[in-house]
Structure 1
Amino acid sequence: MTSDLPHRRKNLLTGDWVLVSPQRMKRPWQGEVKMAQPASRPAHDPSCYLCPGNERSGGVTNPHYDGTFVFPNDFPALLSESESASTGKLFEEQPARGEARVICYSPDHSMTMARMDDAARRMVVQSWCELSAELGARWAHVELFENKGAMMGASSPHPHGQVWAGDFVPTIVEREDVQQRAQFAAGGSPLLGDVIAAEIASGERVVVKNEHWLVIVPHWAAWPFETLVLARTPVARLENLDVEAREGLASVLGKLLCAYDALFDTDFPYSMGWHGAPHGAGDDTGHWRLHAHFYPPLLRSAEIRKHMVGFELLAETQRDLTPEAAAERLRELVK
């Protein structure tokens, strides 16, 4: 039974705690109100750096692509060369090498993943899998992600994602690796496999599922309508998905993202990303289960978002709406 009183929940993937305060949903709001994203965009924008045939800011002209289009990021966060100055034991530095690419989902400037059909989404999924395999062959970790919408810092409204691959395992992925490895050593079963079984049995935080995938609002969710997309079979990396699982992913993403858009009748913003076993670990992946995180900022409407400030920055993450209530609202919108 879900409590309506303040309580804390543990994030099983990171070990962090989240403060849940359901009673705060009743508070009045006189804070920031953001303009909602435009309901429609043209199929081609001559000023967009990512549309087919347009010139990017670096001077390169995009080809007249007709599906997904992947190219090296013109302003990458990681380069093939790196350096760090030795500053002694107190101020530690490490070199960081890698590469980054941009993934245009469609030539259509207005075609978000929510608006695509399953066949078009399948092309995006295929790109993810191919990039994970290619970059994972030479880098320790491959992070595929999307920032959707100006509210989440997207530099272009053209639907696109990114991939950053590096010679190190990033902090959050490393923490997930530690937590999953510890659970596997203690109980002999993958942590997220246990979560999947428990969530299916309960059903109260399930948003949508099919034969290959389960989408839940996790028990420890930080963002109001955060979701976790979980592979139901023991798959550790994107490239390990078979044809049926890739098709199932395209389908389940369509249902989730359409529910997001319907929630506040807006082009729903979010940051999302895939977490799979770090490629630097080789075949040591028995404790891992492939999953994707969706972190949408909207709280009460298309104009009012959750701010991670104050207590969240200085103490620990806090949320108002319970994960169970969030899951129920999303579940009702799945078609």
Structure 2
Amino acid sequence: MEDTEFDPSTHPHRRLNPLTNEHVLVSPHRTKRPWLGQVEPPQTTKLPEFDPDCYLCPGNTRAGGKQTDKYESTFAFENDFAAVLPPPGPAAPPSPHPLLATEPVQGGCDVICFHPRHDLTLARLAIPDIRKVINEWVRIYLLRGRQEGINYVQIFENKGAMMGCSNPHPHGQAWSLSVVPSLPATEIKNLKNYASTTITDPSSSAPRGPHGRPCLLCEYVHFEVSVEHESGRVVAKNDHWVALVPWWAIWPFEILLLPYKRHISNIASLTTEEKDAFAQIMSIVTKRYDNLFSCSFAYSLGIHQRPTPRAEGTSEDQDDDDEDISHLHLHFDPPLLRSASVRKFLVGFELMAEPQRDLTPEQAAQRLRSCSEVHYLDAIPSSEEK
């Protein structure tokens, strides 16, 4: 074998995701392979401002028969077809075998309409309107989190038909559960393990977690920001938040969005200034996604944070709950790979062995950085295009 120096942009290798303790296989040499597989239909970009048949538009009747309020701003309501039901629920029957255990789950599900207009996604909303969405996320997180038996509030958005979104009206959901779901629970477990086993350099300027313990995400994002121009994984940054394609990204243009100036466990602990910066960077990220392939870019977005919110008025340093080791962050997992019509599938090797990607995270970040922060539908056409 020829003795060559390892090049991560050329040679196959594995990368470890410390949040899940799982690997992803990176095969950058495969980006040149031809594609003869499935091609997605064009994404609809022209929607009406109001759709009389949309059950999420103001004043319309929903599928379950209830009428949606004639709302004029961000609006939330209980899902008419909730995945979990309110407590109390029946006890689980005796298990017929130790391998066949049943765990009852109770809770509630909310639908969050981002805006009354049917045609305005997050990428098309004004920053003050995104700020209203963030306020609603905070309200639901606190309200549901204080309900008896609720231990986790999972806020998410599925954007685009290829991500399973059944209604194009811009909206998200919040599922509040009596259990901490598997993925957030795994992340919290690894965050705790890192905090209890890692000895950090006392001279490090990275933010610390509760009680001065090291925080995995604080240290990771501090490193990424400090070597921003060398690593090439940072996509966007403002005074409080950074969006980056993580070292361990699985999806082609996956983004991890998180605060980097201090350890923040949940959205209710954000200051007014941090919420404003949150809205600004959400606008930048979603616009760059749309601009990448000049389409309404599909993704699944999820917020991971502290399982249960603290009572109002309690400062972080007063709360010694171990769950405060959680570091607030958002996952953007988009499926598009080569264009608006070619998507990434997690099949075959990914299902049977481990996740795999072709485009390196650094290459993906570079492509996203090169996208304008002005939405392509708002861009002024050149004289040649007129």
**TM-score when scaled to structure 1?**
0.97
Equivalent runs, 1:1-335 vs 2, <5 Å: 2-81=8-87, 82-83=89-90, 84-87=92-95, 88-138=97-147, 139-187=150-198, 188-203=213-228, 204-232=232-260, 233-279=262-308, 283-335=321-373
Deviations 1:219-257 (Å, cap 9, x if unpaired)?
000000000001122110111111111110000000010
C-alpha displacement at 1:85, in angstroms? Answer: 2.4
| C-alpha RMSD of the superposition | 1.3
- CA contact under 8 A between 1:228 and 1:291: conserved in structure 2? yes
CA–CA distance in structure 1, aligned partners of residues 188 and 69 of structure 2: 39
C-alpha displacement at 1:280, in angstroms? Answer: 7.9
C-alpha displacement at 1:319, in angstroms? Answer: 0.5
CA–CA distance in structure 2, aligned partners of residues 227 and 71 of structure 1: 29
The alignment covers a number of residue pairs equal to 335
CA–CA distance in structure 2, aligned partners of residues 6 and 223 of structure 1: 17
C-alpha displacement at 1:285, in angstroms? Answer: 3.7
Q: Give the 3-state SS of the residue equivalent to 1:327 in structure 2.
A: helix
Residue 193 of structure 1 aligns with an amino acid whose one-letter code is: C
> Identity of counterpart residues, as a percentage?
44
Q: Give the 3-state SS of the residue equivalent to 2:325 in structure 1.
A: coil
- CA contact under 8 A between 1:190 and 1:286: conserved in structure 2? no
Higher deviation after alignment, 242-251 or 272-281: 272-281
C-alpha displacement at 1:286, in angstroms? Answer: 4.2
C-alpha displacement at 1:4, in angstroms? Answer: 1.3
Higher deviation after alignment, 216-225 or 135-144: 135-144
Residue 199 of structure 1 aligns with an amino acid whose one-letter code is: E
- CA contact under 8 A between 1:189 and 1:287: conserved in structure 2? no
Q: CA, structure 1 residues 215+329, in 2 after alignment: closer, same or farther (shift >3 Å)? A: same
Higher deviation after alignment, 81-90 or 260-269: 81-90
Q: Could you tell me which residue of structure 1 aligns to residue 315 of structure 2?
A: none
Q: Could you tell me which residue of structure 1 aligns to residue 203 of structure 2?
A: none
**TM-score when scaled to structure 2?**
0.85
Task: Give the unaligned 5+ runs of structure 2.
Answer: 1-6, 199-212, 311-318, 374-386
Deviations 1:86-108 (Å, cap 9, x if unpaired)?
22312111110110000000000
CA–CA distance in structure 1, aligned partners of residues 132 and 99 of structure 2: 47
Q: Give the 3-state SS of the residue equivalent to 2:221 in structure 1.
A: helix
Q: CA, structure 1 residues 43+214, in 2 after alignment: closer, same or farther (shift >3 Å)? A: same
CA–CA distance in structure 1, aligned partners of residues 129 and 357 of structure 2: 35
Q: Give the 3-state SS of the residue equivalent to 1:125 in structure 2.
A: helix
Residue 116 of structure 1 aligns with an amino acid whose one-letter code is: L
- CA contact under 8 A between 1:53 and 1:62: conserved in structure 2? yes
Task: Give the unaligned 5+ runs of structure 1.
Answer: none
- CA contact under 8 A between 2:27 and 2:357: conserved in structure 1? yes
